[in-house]
């Protein structure tokens, strides 16, 4: 154990902050979907995985990285719309457990399909932007880029949700679904737009993650539970809650991992999560349980 208030400790805290940007972005998409449509996409991380493969093959096929990234965002946005139309719409009025089961089914389907189509070996783009040294501390460029892009994206989404008619309708619909027709709002259209944005955010996360992580069919298992835990900790459907929870969890992982071992970081984070859920089942910022 090596846990002193030294430069490594500070480095761990700052790396936790950088990790939080990515996790907050991932949680944002899931929270948006849940807040508006009232369905949890358990397969959210698998959509990210699909996006990562899409970007990988587009890049290997000769597209410049930014174009490949754009392709990934559009691909997963469309996947989100298709998921809503084919899988979510038929179960919109069903019990939550049935909704979890169908999206859980999609999770395993996508994993199996990816294994069949792309094999189990780890792939990467061969793009590793390197690290920057600052006051004897080392930070990877990819994490810094990810953090910046995630923050800008969240800011843009916030502007969209607070300034545009459709954005305000997206927030209103979770507060009173039944009267939306009286406002002239077509609920089906709002759901499709939201699914597209939720998918697009997963695609953007994929574009950032291919810079840091290898791609394999089960990568969703590494992130899925973490994203879900962050959303529940912050209060499912609360976008601000998800943002704050992402920072809390990332610090547990980064600092715990630096003091003990990486696995311990995750263990402490999940332990903290369980304690909070005992005390506050609706999550830190949640209105509903």
Partner 1 sequence: MLELSNVDAAYGGFQALFGISMSVQAGEAVAVIGSNGAGKTTLLRVISGLLPATGGAMTMESTSLRDTAPHKIIETGIAHVPEGRRLFPRLSVENNLKMGAYIRPARQKFDERLAFVYELFPRLKERRAQLAGTLSGGEQQMCAIGRALMSGPKLVLLDEPSMGLAPVIVAQLFDLVRRIRQEGYTVLIVEQNVRQVLKIADRAYLLEVGRIKASGPSGDLLASDEIRKAYMGI
Give contact residues for partner 1 (rule: CB under 8 A).
162, 165, 168-169, 171-172, 175-176, 178-187
Please, are residues 143 and 212 in contact by the beta-carbon 8 Å criterion?
yes
Q: Nearest approach, Cβ of 164 to partner 1 (angstroms)?
A: 10
Quick one: 138 or 175, whose CB is closer to partner 1? 175
Q: Nearest approach, Cβ of 221 to partner 1 (angstroms)?
A: 35
Q: Nearest approach, Cβ of 185 to partner 1 (angstroms)?
A: 6
Torsional class of 189: left (φ above 0), alpha (ψ -120 to 50), beta (otherwise): alpha
Mapped onto helix, strand or coil, the DSSP state of residue 130 is coil
Quick one: 60 or 188, whose CB is closer to partner 1? 188
* Integer Cα distance of 211 and 63 in angstroms: 15
Quick one: 163 or 278, whose CB is closer to partner 1? 163
Residue 277 burial (C-beta neighbours within 10 Å; 0-12, 13-18, 19+): middle
Quick one: 175 or 222, whose CB is closer to partner 1? 175
Q: Measured between alpha carbons, how far apart are the two ends of the chain, in Å?
A: 38
236: Cα within 13 Å, side-chain hemisphere: 17
What residues form DSSP beta bridges with 123? 215
Q: Nearest approach, Cβ of 170 to partner 1 (angstroms)?
A: 11
* Integer Cα distance of 250 and 97 in angstroms: 29
> Rounded to an integer, what is the distance from CA 247 to the centroid of its chain?
13
Q: Nearest approach, Cβ of 161 to partner 1 (angstroms)?
A: 10
Q: Nearest approach, Cβ of 171 to partner 1 (angstroms)?
A: 6
The two three-digit tokens of residue 75, written as one number = 């691909």
Quick one: 98 or 162, whose CB is closer to partner 1? 162
226: Cα within 13 Å, side-chain hemisphere: 25
Quick one: 119 or 287, whose CB is closer to partner 1? 287
């Amino acid at each position: 154990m090596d846990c002193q208030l030294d430069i490594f400790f500070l480095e761990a805290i700052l790396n936790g902050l950088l990790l939080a940007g990515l996790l907050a972005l991932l949680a944002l998409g899931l929270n948006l979907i849940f807040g508006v449509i009232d369905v949890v996409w358990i397969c959210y991380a698998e959509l990210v995985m699909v996006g990562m493969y899409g970007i990988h093959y587009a890049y290997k096929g000769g597209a410049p990285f930014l174009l490949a990234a754009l392709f990934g965002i559009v691909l997963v946005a469309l996947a989100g719309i298709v998921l809503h139309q084919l899988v979510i719409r038929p179960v919109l009025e069903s019990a939550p457990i049935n909704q979890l089961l169908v999206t859980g089914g999609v999770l395993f389907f996508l994993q199996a399909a990816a294994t069949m189509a792309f094999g189990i070996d780890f792939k990467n783009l061969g793009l590793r932007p390197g690290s920057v040294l600052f006051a004897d501390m080392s930070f990877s460029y990819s994490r810094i880029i990810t953090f910046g892009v995630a923050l800008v994206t969240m800011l843009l989404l916030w502007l969209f949700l607070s300034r545009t008619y459709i954005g305000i309708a997206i927030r209103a619909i979770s507060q009173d679904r039944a009267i939306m027709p009286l406002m002239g709002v077509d609920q089906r259209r709002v759901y499709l737009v939201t699914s597209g944005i939720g998918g697009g955010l997963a695609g953007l996360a994929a574009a950032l993650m291919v810079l840091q992580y290898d791609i394999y069919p089960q990568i969703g298992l590494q992130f899925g539970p973490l994203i879900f835990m962050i959303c529940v900790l912050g209060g499912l459907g609360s976008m601000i809650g998800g943002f704050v929870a992402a920072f809390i969890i990332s610090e547990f992982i980064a600092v715990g991992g630096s003091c003990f071992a990486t696995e311990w970081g995750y263990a402490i984070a999940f332990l903290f999560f369980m304690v909070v859920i005992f005390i506050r089942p609706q999550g830190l910022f949640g209105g509903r349980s």
